[in-house]
Amino acid sequence: MVPTPNPERRNERSRRATLAATIELIAARGYGKVTIEAIATQAGASKQTIYRWWPSKAALALEAINDYIGEAIDFPDTGDITTDLTTQISEVTDLLTGPIGTVFRGVIADAQSDPSVGAALRETIIEPRTRLCEARLAAAVAAGQLRADVPTRVMVEMLYSVVYYRLLFGTDELDPRKTPAFLEYVFTGLRPLPPRAEP
Amino acid sequence: MVPTPNPERRNERSRRATLAATIELIAARGYGKVTIEAIATQAGASKQTIYRWWPSKAALALEAINDYIGEAIDFPDTGDITTDLTTQISEVTDLLTGPIGTVFRGVIADAQSDPSVGAALRETIIEPRTRLCEARLAAAVAAGQLRADVPTRVMVEMLYSVVYYRLLFGTDELDPRKTPAFLEYVFTGLRPLPPRAEP
């Protein structure tokens, strides 16, 4: 009888080494050229051990991204939505210009031909973070800082999709220093409309 | 001596058959699983003929997309920017929910690991269409319908990136019927600010 692996028994040091190897190798060689075998060698783990915990390269990449960005890009709440989202989106932008950006681009590419990767990407990264951002935006709506008639889910798209557009198309530089100006354009449309002057 | 192919001598019927086969096969099997050989067979052309005109599968896919969408998504100018962009973005959205969307997703995925595909994608599709859209937006700025202080290139990103976000992440349905509501949110921030009421 093969015992079911107990997630709590997974060795944390080995897990971290494996995820670090995943990021390092993908950043150096590109997602498509990295094999589970190469990750195992780099991490000093056996291929079987890796497959016991992660069913695929995409699963490794997604957990690596989540671990790496986990606490770095929480949604702050200082009471001012413009300040808070500027901080958060600048941090996301900064992360995406580094190794994590290369890993993320690889997973997104993989998701275009493999629906199970797309589902895992949504379930482990996109949707949980969308919900966190929506909660922060809902607090700003309640505080009268944002319009109540735009769904917070649409606000999330309006705020983040340009970041991914630049990441994936490479049209313009992803520069955290440009975040404040860009957000100002978006927020102008999302703030409660000022009362119109009488004609 | 091998004669240099003369682009004007390329047989138009064969060209169209090859591009149609490219779209059909990628839509049916997915970008990654289609070979130049399969496209040649489907188009009734020789592999050499195809390689003479297109250096890669990405080149075939890009020309197929450009041909297919060419005239369908011109930027109309009725004098009203909201109407015109609603028409245009609804048409783009509609196209991307069909076979062309699958081809486009494949090329975008390919571009994440192959910088030459990324460059070709920008040069043949993204940048020419961005320039056309910018020209239409500049006319609207001149007509006082849009703010003069937001770069038209940023407006293009704000208007189109959500379409690609949904196409690539699969978070929410790409539905042309939802274009008007979405554009209204974006345009609210891009219109000249109304004079504030005196306090």
Q: What's the ipTM?
A: 0.89
- Give the confidence band of A81 by pLDDT, cuts at 50, 70, 90: very high
Higher pLDDT, B199 or B10: B10
- Give the confidence band of B182 by pLDDT, cuts at 50, 70, 90: confident
What was the pLDDT predicted at B55?
A: 93
* Nearest CA among A8, A32, A35 for reference residue A21: A35
* Lowest pLDDT segment from A6-15, A98-107, B144-153: A6-15
E strand or H helix at B168: helix B152-169
d(CA A188, CA B32): 42
Contact B185 A158 (CB under 8 A): yes
- CA B15 centroid distance within chain: 20
d(CA A154, CA A189): 12
Residue A101 has pLDDT above 90, yes or no: yes
Q: Which two tokens stand for residue A82?
A: 């413009």
Residue B137 has pLDDT above 60, yes or no: yes
Residue range A9-47, pLDDT digits in tens: 668 899 999 999 999 999 999 999 999 999 999 999 999
Q: Which domains does chain B have, with CATH numbers?
A: 9-65 (1.10.10.60), 72-190 (1.10.357.10)
Residue A159 has pLDDT above 90, yes or no: yes
What was the pLDDT predicted at A185?
A: 87
Residue range B65-116, pLDDT digits in tens: 999 887 667 889 999 999 999 999 999 999 999 999 999 999 999 999 999 9
Chain A residue with minimal CA distance to B197? A197
Question: Contacts of residue A153 in chain B, CB cutoff 8 Å?
Answer: 172
Residue A23 to chain B, least CA–CA distance (Å): 15
Name the residue among B188, B190, B195 with its Cβ closest to that of A197. B195
Specify whether the CB–CB gap between A60 and A19 falls below 8 A. yes
Residue B134 to chain A, least CA–CA distance (Å): 14
- Give the confidence band of B181 by pLDDT, cuts at 50, 70, 90: confident
Beta bridge partners of B196: A196
Cβ of B171: how many Cβ atoms within 10 Å?
18
